[in-house]
Amino acid sequence: MKRHCDNKRDIVASEFLFHYIRLKSGVSPFTVKQSKRINEFIREPWDFIEQFHVLPVDEETVEEAYHLMRTHNLLPNDAIILASCKINGIKTLATLDGDLRSATMKEGLKLL
């Protein structure tokens, strides 16, 4: 039986919301936070997010992420995303992150 690392399972949702704020506001999410305007940009993105299944991150995924960090010089969130794809048989990944794009191609996954 796999144990879940529940505090790590929403990395993709977190990254999505971070970029969502940037796309909606046109400035850094940190700038939006400092101006206390997050509520202006986070209205109803859950309509979009609810269409997806969030994969939990278990010990096997964390171990694979650690390996990917060392192999491809990835930061933790990128490594966990790529490891989750590999562990769960996801063959295609959409990203604008150059480091993650390179590692994804080297790991044999298709990029959108």
pLDDT tens for the chain, 112 residues long, are 343 444 444 666 777 778 888 888 999 989 999 999 988 887 765 656 666 677 878 999 999 999 999 999 999 989 999 999 999 999 999 888 888 999 999 999 998 8
Q: Say if residue 70 is in the same domain as residue 92.
A: yes
Nearest to 95 by CA among 4, 39, 87, 107: 107
Nearest to 112 by CA among 89, 85, 94: 94
Confidence (pTM) = 0.63
Q: Say if residue 67 is in the same domain as residue 107.
A: yes
Residue 3 lies in a domain: no
Q: Say if residue 28 is in the same domain as residue 63.
A: no
Residue 22 lies in a domain: yes
Q: Say if residue 44 is in the same domain as residue 68.
A: no
- The token duo for 79 is 């490594």
For the chain, what is the domain count? 2
- Domain containing 14 equals 9-49
